[in-house]
Amino acid sequence: PGTEKPDAQVVDDEEGGVLFLPGSNSLSSSGYGYASIEKQRQRLPVYKYRTAILYLVETHATTIIVGETGSGKTTQIPQYLIEAGWAAGGRLIACTQPRRLAVQAVSSRVAQEMGVKLGDQVGYTIRFEDVTKQDETVLKFVTDGVLLREMMNDPLLTKYSVIMVDEAHERSISTDILLGLLKKIQRRRPELRLIIASATIEAKSMADFFRPRKKRREPETEENGLKVEPAILSVEGRGFNVQINFAEEPFHDYIQAAVSTVLSIHERESTGDVLVFLTGQDDIDAAAHLLNEDIQTNRKHSGLVVLPLYSGLPRADQELVFSPAPRGKRKVVISTNIAETSLTLEGIVYVVDSGFSKQRFYNPVSDIENLVVAPISRASARQRAGRAGRVRPGKCYRLYTEEYFLSHMSVEGIPEIQRSNLVSCVIQLKALGIDNILGFDWPASPSPEAMIRALEVLYSLAILDDDAKLTSPTGFQIAEIPLDPMISKMIIASSQLGCTEEILTIAAALSVQSIWISGRGIQKESDEAKLRFAAAEGDHVTFLNVYKGFHLSRKSSQWCHKHFVNYHAMKKVVEVREQLKKIAQRIGLVLKSCDSDMQVVKKAVTAGFFANACRLEPYSPDGMYKTLRGSEEVYIHPSSVLFRVNPKWVIFNSLVSTDRKYMRNVMTIDPSWLLEAAPHFYQLQKPNLLH
Ligand code: ADP
Ligand code: MG
C-alpha cells in the first residue's frame, strides 16, 4: 500500500468516468502507462482495418469478420459504425453475444471508452434486465436470445440498421436460430447490414450459408449497388508464441492438478498473470478455496491473488477480474470457458487448461437435458492456449496428455442446436409464423428426433392445432414468456386459478440454480436449515416459505447466512420475479394472491408439469418411482425436501441423470388433477391412474 504507481490505479467512477487500463503492450515494454483511451483504441489490431470494415459494410449486405480474441472486434466495430453514421436518424445498432456476462462486461467497457453512462447512448439487454433508454440508446449489446424475442413484436427488426452477430464460432443455439432468421429478414429488408464476427476461421462455411442460391440470370448486385455475396475480412492479430506443455500422465483430479500447477508456476516462472480454465462455479470455487488455504499458510505463495470468473458473479467481483493486479502481486483468474473467446483479460502470460467444459447434452429418447462436464474440442484447446500470448510469449499447461488430445478430443465442437432440447426454439419459430420447421434454413440441422420430441411436448401442452400451427391466444402468451413453455403454462394457469403472486415466486425460484447454499462439509447443517422451511407439499411450496422469510428479514444477507440460503440467488429471484410480473401484466394476466390456499398453487404447477407425473413403485425399498408417461425409473434427488419422504404421487420439474435418474424440485399431487389438467394427455392412461 502506498507504493503503487498512480498510473496503475484504476479510476473507478460509477457515473461513466474513465477507466485507465494498462496499454496493450504495457507488460512487454513500458510498464503500465497512461495511454489515453483514444491511443489504446488505435493500438488494437482492428484499427488498421477501420476503413476497410466500414467500406465492406457499406457495400455488402453481409460482412464476415474473423479475428483473434482481443483484436477489438466487439468493442471497436460498433463504435466505428456509430462514427460512420449508422446510428443516425433514429436507427439502432445491435451487437449480440451468446453470454450474459459478456454482454454486461463489453457494454460497460464500450460506454467507458465513449465516455457515456451505461444505459444512455450505449446500453444492454439480457433476459430479465434492460439497461437501455428509448430514444437515447443507439448501440445495444444483447444476448442472441433477447434479439430473437424482439422479433416477436418486430419481426423484421426494423429499428436496426446494422446487426453484428458476435462470437458466431460458438454456435450457440440462439445464434444459429438468429442466423437462419436474419437470412430471411435480409430478403425483405435489403438495406439491413449484417456483420458476423468470429474468433476462428470457419468463415467459408458461414459465407456459404449467407450466399444466396444462384439462380440463372440473377445479378450479383442488387439495384441499389449492394453486393449480395458476403464479404470476408480477416483481421491479423499479433499474438505471441505460446509454448504448450502436455501432462505426462493423466490426472485423476483436475481441480487438484490445476491448483498444483498454479503454485508451481508461481514458484518457478517470472511475472505475468495466470488464467485457469475449469468448468463451472462449483469447481472454480473449490479450486479458489484450495488456493486461498495454501496462500494463508504458505508465505512463499502470499503474492497470489485469486479471482473467480463465471456468470452470475457480482458486479464488483467482475471489475476486479479486469483490473490490473496490485503491484508485486500475481493475479490468478479461474474461469469457465467465458474467458476462452468472449472476454479478453490483459496481462495473462500463463494458461492452465483442464481440458473440460460444461456442455449441454440432450437425449431425445429419455428427454433429459443435462449440463455435463465433457472434453473440449481441439479448436477450443487452441483458443485457450492463445490467451497466454497476448502481451508477450506465454506458456500453456494442459492437464491432459498429448495422446488424449489427439485421440479423445474432437477437431471441432458440435453446434449446440444438435445437443439441446428444442421446445423453446420450436415455439419461438412457430410464434414467428415459421411452421415448416424441418424445412427451415438452419446453419446446422437439428436432429429429427429432438424436433419430434419438441412437437410432442407442445401438443401435450395443447398449444398447437391439428396442423401444428400456433393459433390459440394461450399459445402466443406462452411464447411471449421467456421461460421453458411448461413454466409459462404454469404461470398462465395461475392467472385462472387466482394464485399468480405465488406462482411467479415459484417460477423465479426455478430459474436460479439453487436457492440453497451447499458444499463440502456443510451438508448436515444445511439439511437441518432446510427442514425449518420444508413444506409437506414439496419443494415448490418450500420456495414460498423461504421467499416469505427473506422478505420478512428485509432481504438481509445475515438472515440468508443463518439459514443456509444463498443470498445472491435470492436477490436474483426477487429481480426475476419483478420482471416476470411486468411480462405477466403485459400479456394481460390477472395478478392475484391465493393467501394460504396451497391447493390452487399445486394445481397451477400441475397444469404446466403434468407430463412429469410419477408414481412410487409399491414395495420399492429404495424409493423408486416410475413416470406415467414412459415408465422410466426415477428417484427423488437428495436436495429435495421430499427426499426419503417418498409420497405416492409426485410431479417434478426436471431430471438429472448420474448413476440414476433423479427428479429435481418435486411436489406431491392428487392424481385426479392430472386428468383435470390434461385430459387429452391422460385419457388413454386412465386405467393406470385408478389404482
Ligand atoms: P475481441 O472482440 O476482438 O475479442 P475486444 O473488443 O473484446 O476484442 O477487446 C479489445 C480490447 O479491449 C482488449 O485489449 C481488452 O483488453 C479490452 N477490453 C475489452 N473489454 C474490457 C473490459 N470489460 N475491461 C477492460 N478492458 C476491456
Ligand atoms: Mg469479442
Give the Cβ contact number of residue 368 at 10 Å. Answer: 17
| Residue 94 near ligand 1, beta carbon < 6 Å | no
Cβ(132)–Cβ(119) below 8 Å? yes
How many Å apart are CA 95 and CA 448, to the nearest integer? 31
Beta-sheet strands, E only, within 565-688: 613-616, 625-627, 633-636, 649-657, 661-668
Ligand nearest to the CA of 108: 1
How many Å apart are CA 135 and CA 91, to the nearest integer? 10
Cβ(657)–Cβ(370) below 8 Å? yes
- Region 175-203 average pLDDT: 92
Taking alpha carbons only, the member of 628, 681, 69, 19 closest to residue 341 is 69
- Region 442-448 average pLDDT: 91
* 3-class secondary-structure state, position 234: strand
Largest distance between two CA atoms of the chain: 80
- Region 233-252 average pLDDT: 92
| Residue 106 near ligand 1, beta carbon < 6 Å | yes
Nearest CA to ligand 1 atom 14: 70
Grid cell listed for 199: 474468433
Distance 388 CA to ligand 2 centre (A): 16
Give the Cβ contact number of residue 66 at 10 Å. Answer: 22
Least reliable range by pLDDT among 9-18, 204-213, 225-234, 666-675: 9-18
Nearest CA to ligand 1 atom 13: 70
Least reliable range by pLDDT among 294-303, 486-495, 675-684: 675-684
How many Å apart are CA 510 and CA 652, to the nearest integer? 11
Q: Which residue has the higher pLDDT, 676 or 82?
A: 82
Taking alpha carbons only, the member of 288, 251, 283, 485 closest to residue 371 is 283
* 3-class secondary-structure state, position 413: coil
Among 75, 79, 200, 348, name the best residue to mutate to test ligand 1's pocket (greatest count of ligand atoms within 8 A of Cβ): 75
Nearest CA to ligand 1 atom 22: 109
Least reliable range by pLDDT among 100-109, 328-337, 382-391, 459-468: 459-468
How many Å apart are CA 655 and CA 639, to the nearest integer? 13
How many Å apart are CA 538 and CA 22, to the nearest integer? 53
- Region 173-193 average pLDDT: 94
How many Å apart are CA 161 and CA 614, to the nearest integer? 51
Given a cut of 80, whether residue 688 has pLDDT beyond it is: no
| Residue 72 near ligand 1, beta carbon < 6 Å | yes
Distance 95 CA to ligand 2 centre (A): 10
Distance 46 CA to ligand 2 centre (A): 12
Distance 513 CA to ligand 2 centre (A): 27
Report the chain's terminal Cα–Cα distance, integer Å: 74
pLDDT-derived band at 564 (thresholds 50, 70, 90) equals: very high
Q: What is the ipTM of this complex?
A: 0.98
- Region 417-434 average pLDDT: 93
Distances (CA, A) of 68 to 182, 201, 257, 415, 501: 25, 10, 29, 20, 48
pLDDT-derived band at 587 (thresholds 50, 70, 90) equals: very high
The backbone region for 554, taken as left when phi is positive above 0, alpha when psi lies in -120 to 50, beta otherwise, is: left
Nearest CA to ligand 1 atom 18: 344
| Residue 24 near ligand 1, beta carbon < 6 Å | yes
How many Å apart are CA 83 and CA 79, to the nearest integer? 6
- Which sign does the torsion angle of CA 220, 225, 227, 233 carry? positive
pTM recorded for the entire structure: 0.86
Distance 667 CA to ligand 1 centre (A): 46
| Listed residues: CB within 5 A of ion ligand 2 | 73-74
Q: Which residue has the cell 456483420?
A: 195
Ligand nearest to the CA of 167: 2
Taking alpha carbons only, the member of 165, 187, 189, 188 closest to residue 177 is 165
Given a cut of 70, whether residue 690 has pLDDT beyond it is: no
Grid cell listed for 686: 386412465
Pair type for strands 613-616 and 625-627: antiparallel
Per cent of the chain over pLDDT 90 is 72
Please, where are the H alpha helices in 199-253? 203-210
Q: What is the pLDDT of residues 336-378, one digit of tens each?
A: 999 999 998 989 999 999 999 999 898 887 778 888 899 999 9
pLDDT-derived band at 313 (thresholds 50, 70, 90) equals: confident
